[in-house]
Structure 1
């Protein structure tokens, strides 16, 4: 692959990840900047908290799509004959990570974005959809039981490398396992404040079955 094409795809993956869906959607449809309410985070979870389930779902799906699309740039290069089969996974992981970095540090809104969980999910769906579905199940079951999005995200992220290592879906792939544990560490780092609140017992809860909100909240 040429240096120019490599740089172009890296930039494209970053810009895809940088799309500030929560900020643009909140301001465009509600006239509300979600960064000024709730946790102040520009992510899907705070959008759920501030603008309600419908808005949160839209933002989450866009963020998932960002990660999936950026990761699939590697598949596009493969079908173009630019990279080989042995390089495909490496490039998927690379482009996916770049998209997550874009989500966390988006160029469009002053490099202050979300925590990258939905974008990570989109990346994992593009790399290993079966394992991703298992992790989604773990996330939902934990969320229903605890009502903590942060705890659910951390456990679901940890499940990916652990289940990969256990060979749940065939022979363990070392690169995938290493990637999974690196992503787990990244999630822990971006959730440090949440972990402290979990330990102190004052972390924000999200009830999936409560009535949807239609306005802002200062909680």
Structure 2
């Protein structure tokens, strides 16, 4: 791998991680005087747990900002690190690396002892940043499953898997490895939810913890 491309990939990884690691859910709830969101509900810093504070506005803001921290580094990587002879959309290139590290930053933020969220909203932003058809499929599956079941975890896991599948089917093959790795990570982080789903005890949106 050429030195210039290696440097671009490393910078894209740093950009993705830096953006992804901003814990908006925690910051917003603290600014609003609601304390540490990690001490309620599931202990997660994402929008679903912020919703358990009872403040829908904060939950919506968290969702949008978590989407943005996936979308922005992917778009910036494509613009900042494009170079002659090094396609930014290559499977091992700045764009998919920025995508992967944005989700890693959200899930394992250094500022919180590497204990963050589960990556669903951030990966939605990543999907739109990679290609709008992938993002649209992500959103439709996420909202569709959520509307049918009111189970946030099932909707999120379905959406991350759909993104990788749609990328492969629609010919965005260079993005498939990163999206597949993200899907595996998100499923692993939801392993407790999967056990509850199997047992029929997974809570629904609006039902509390």
Q: TM-score, with normalisation over the residues of structure 1? A: 0.84
Q: Which residue of 1 aligns with 2:176?
A: 177
Which segments of 5 or more consecutive residues in structure 2 lack a partner in the other structure? none
Q: Which residue of 2 aligns with 1:205?
A: 204
Give the drift of 1:85.
6.2
C-alpha distance in 2, partners of 1:122/1:57?
14
Give the drift of 1:26.
0.5
Whether the aligned pair in 2 keeps the contact of 1:26 and 1:51 (CA below 8 Å) is: no
Q: Which residue of 2 aligns with 1:161?
A: 164
C-alpha distance in 2, partners of 1:37/1:115?
16
For 1:179-194, list aligned pairs within 5 A: 179-194=178-193
Q: Which of 10, 21, 27 in structure 1 is aligned with 2:13?
A: 10
C-alpha distance in 2, partners of 1:100/1:24?
18
For 1:107-122, list aligned pairs within 5 A: 107-122=110-125
Give the drift of 1:5.
5.9
Q: Which of 66, 69, 85 in structure 2 is aligned with 1:66?
A: 69
Whether the aligned pair in 2 keeps the contact of 1:35 and 1:41 (CA below 8 Å) is: yes
C-alpha distance in 1, partners of 2:15/2:86?
22
C-alpha distance in 1, partners of 2:178/2:50?
28
Task: Give the paired residue count.
Answer: 204
**Root mean square deviation of aligned Cα:** 2.2
Per-residue CA shift, 1:34-91, capped at 9, x if unaligned?
A: 100001111121111224321111001111111111112222224xx54656233432
Whether the aligned pair in 1 keeps the contact of 2:103 and 2:182 (CA below 8 Å) is: no
Which segments of 5 or more consecutive residues in structure 1 lack a partner in the other structure? 211-216
| Match status 1:46 vs 2:45 | no
Describe the SS at the equivalent of 2:52.
helix
Q: TM-score, with normalisation over the residues of structure 2? A: 0.88
Q: Which residue of 1 aligns with 2:88?
A: 87
Whether the aligned pair in 2 keeps the contact of 1:22 and 1:43 (CA below 8 Å) is: yes
Q: Which residue of 2 aligns with 1:214?
A: none
C-alpha distance in 2, partners of 1:71/1:83?
19
Describe the SS at the equivalent of 1:19.
coil
For 1:100-139, list aligned pairs within 5 A: 100-139=103-142
